[in-house]
Copies of this chain bind each other. A is one copy, B any other.
Amino acid sequence: MVVFLFLSLLSVKYLYDRLLSDPLPVPRIRHYNWEVKYEYKSPDCFKKLAITINGQTPGPTIEAQLNDVIIVEVKNSMLTEMVSIHWHGIHQRGMPWFDGTGGVTQCPIAPGDTFVYKVAVDVPGTFLYHAHYGLQSEHGLYGMIKVSLPPGDSEPYTYDYDESIILVDWYHKSTYEQATGLSSIPFVWVGEPQSLLIQGKGRFNCSTPELETGLCNTTSPECSPHVMTVVPGKTYRLRIGSVTSLSALSFEIEGHNMTIVGTGGHNVEPFTVKNLFIYSGQTYSVLIKTDQDPTKNYWIVSKIVNRNSTTPNGLAIFNYSPNNPSVSPPTIPPVGPAWNDVDSRITQSQAIKARQGYITPPPQKPDRVIVLLNTQNMIDGYIRWSINNVSFNLPGTPYLIAVKNKWHHVFNQTSPPDGYDYRHYDIFSPPKNVNATYGNSIYRLPFNSVVDIIIQNANTMKPTESETHPWHLHGHDFWVLGHGKGKFDIQNDPKKFNLVNPVMKNTVAVQPWGWAALRFRANNPGVWYMHCHLEFHSFLGMGVVFEEGVEMLGQLPKSIMGCGDAKDFHKP
């Protein structure tokens, strides 16, 4: 009873805060009709099935203005596959059912059905959308969301043009072949991607032996390199996003420095780099001056840096107008940084701070600290990723529906562990106990509480190997309080946290044998997935779920129902 009253008061306070903070502008509605279906595409010259939106992959770039409401009617025209679309980096405050996470916030959309997403862009910046079911994002269902300021408002930096580029790695096998291999004994790894796409275009070596005739065509216009045409003597704001399924990338433009000014929905203290390290689920805004010799074109390069990959670098053309856009630059493309130069990546991550004047100060102390140890393990002979020895598996009924209805039978009601055997665990060696368990329990957070998440990377099952994991949190941005190498020191490292000007992000890269410390406030009623954004890793169990304030939500929409126990839903 007391608890109930407390929660109700919180709820009232929450609504009251919302009223005060929002000047209640009349939102502008942007309406999209999307048909999702398979089409044959040759983005790297190799013809294969891709999941497209209105025939396109990447999907259309959504260009919105702060406080717009985007209505996307998604018609699933795939033959037998369900689908859901996640609005990555957008908090969906007050409507967590439109987060688009299949199995967490909704039943995915059945073939033939149309689902109407409502997406409120209440923060300016650069966001992503992508499928959030199975391995469908990796199959081509992704795109970018640009949210601009209203006329009259301006960014704390100036530019002449606003452009965007989205990066992925690209595989030729179907998601079903990949998923079956990953779920087999013996484990069949997906291997290196066949190519890297820049704005949906790449190049595979069609002279590879054993290709079926007609499948690979280097003269296909679909795989001509992406061209970014620029005018000399200008400043470009370039929004760069990555939705890779396995790769961390270095991105650079030959001969041009980039000044990083923003990430996600946040301005950062400007700093200049030759190459940007970008991890799956991240977006950056950089400024580029077109101040080089304008008589020639330059290479745009993406390169895999988290593995010693055989995949050729992705190439696009930075075309100084009026040069011929289809003429390759006269130079050899830059080779990019060494794949194993982890220090440079950590240095760049650590250099990213909130911009003066745009700092949202973090709470000074957490109410709870959760340590997430990332390891590879075995379960019944299957290779899996696990968090504190628990490998995540979705239950059949989406969490949001189960929690709201207090259907305790849907998932294990015991909290997952808040940490691991910190004293005895050697993060530099393969796990001694490789036996993990499957789990579907969730962290339930008191509404408005402050939570620290320490993500600790450990050695994989292979000696002297640890991987890079970009962890993404739904429904929130978190403060990045610190990054480090080695084992997080629970006594001393918190003393070094940046509580002054930490950047806020929705996706943070955790480097091999390294850690990242994050803080967020559980102030967005809903159920939120947090997971490694490498789709193959989350498929293999690398995720956790947080719940906060679901009791404050009104009736869930009927449209998210249809699976598991949610076939015959009545208001509780």
Contacts and interface: CB of A to CB of B under 8 A. Distances in A.
Contacts of A180: 38-40, 49
A569 B566 CA distance: 11
Interface string A98-131: 0000010001101111100000000000000000
B563 A112 contact: yes
Q: Copies of this chain, how many?
A: 2
Nearest to A559: B567
Interface in A522-572: 558-559, 561-564, 566-570
Interface string A127-161: 00000011110000000000000000000000000
A88 to B, nearest CB: 19
Given A108-B110, A569-B568, A135 B79 contact: yes
A302 to B, nearest CB: 27
A317 interface: no
A257 interface: no
Nearest to A393: B112
Interface string A272-293: 0000000000000000000000
A110 B49 CA distance: 22
Interface string A151-180: 000000000000000000000001111011
A179 B79 contact: yes
A563 B113 contact: yes
A83 interface: yes
B394 A176 contact: no
Contacts of A558: 567-568
A210 B214 CA distance: 11
A83 B80 CA distance: 7
A111 B111 CA distance: 13
Given A562-B563, A567-B569, A80 B113 contact: no
A38 B179 contact: yes
B568 A110 contact: no
B103 A396 contact: no
Contacts of A134: 79-80, 111
Contacts of A213: 210
A564 B112 CA distance: 8
B108 A394 contact: no
14 contacts: A38-B176, A39-B180, A40-B180, A40-B181, A49-B176, A79-B134, A80-B108, A80-B136, A81-B82, A103-B112, A107-B562, A112-B396, A559-B567, A562-B563
Interface of A: 38-40, 49, 79-83, 103, 107-108, 110-114, 133-136, 174-177, 179-181, 184, 210-213, 394-396, 558-559, 561-564, 566-570
